[in-house]
Amino acid sequence: MGAMDHIHLSPQGFVFDHHTGLSFSTNGTGAFILQRIIDGRERQEVLIALVEDFDVTPDQAAADLDEFLHLLRRHRLLPRDSHGGSA
């Protein structure tokens, strides 16, 4: 069982945490990021994918990713020490 096995992400961006029973929704970009984290991708891999798939600079992708990772941690969907970032 992996670190993110408790998270279910629907294609529409609905997020369900099986541990807590809490649910969240995210936009397409958030779902894009979260799916890659669930798939076991590291922060740098997610950054590269963001720059390649969206019209965004590396600096903007990094800032947006760090903000999203902070939100995931705040809602306890992601452990504090995973995926680097500034949060």
- Higher pLDDT residue, 85 or 60? 60
> Which pLDDT score is estimated for 2?
52
Q: Taking the mean position of all CA atoms in its chain, how far away is CA 59?
A: 17
Contact 42, 52 (CB under 8 A): no
Would residue 56 count as lying in a domain? yes
Would residue 40 count as lying in a domain? yes
- Span 4-59, pLDDT tens digits: 788 999 989 999 998 889 899 999 999 999 999 999 999 999 999 999 999 899 99
Would residue 80 count as lying in a domain? no
Contact 53, 2 (CB under 8 A): no
Would residue 29 count as lying in a domain? yes
83 pLDDT more than 70: no
Q: How many domains does the chain have?
A: 1
How far apart CA 77 and CA 59 sit, in angstroms, is 24
How far apart CA 53 and CA 84 sit, in angstroms, is 21
84 pLDDT more than 80: no
Would residue 2 count as lying in a domain? no
pTM, 2 dp: 0.83
Would residue 86 count as lying in a domain? no
Domain housing 16: 7-74
> Which pLDDT score is estimated for 86?
43
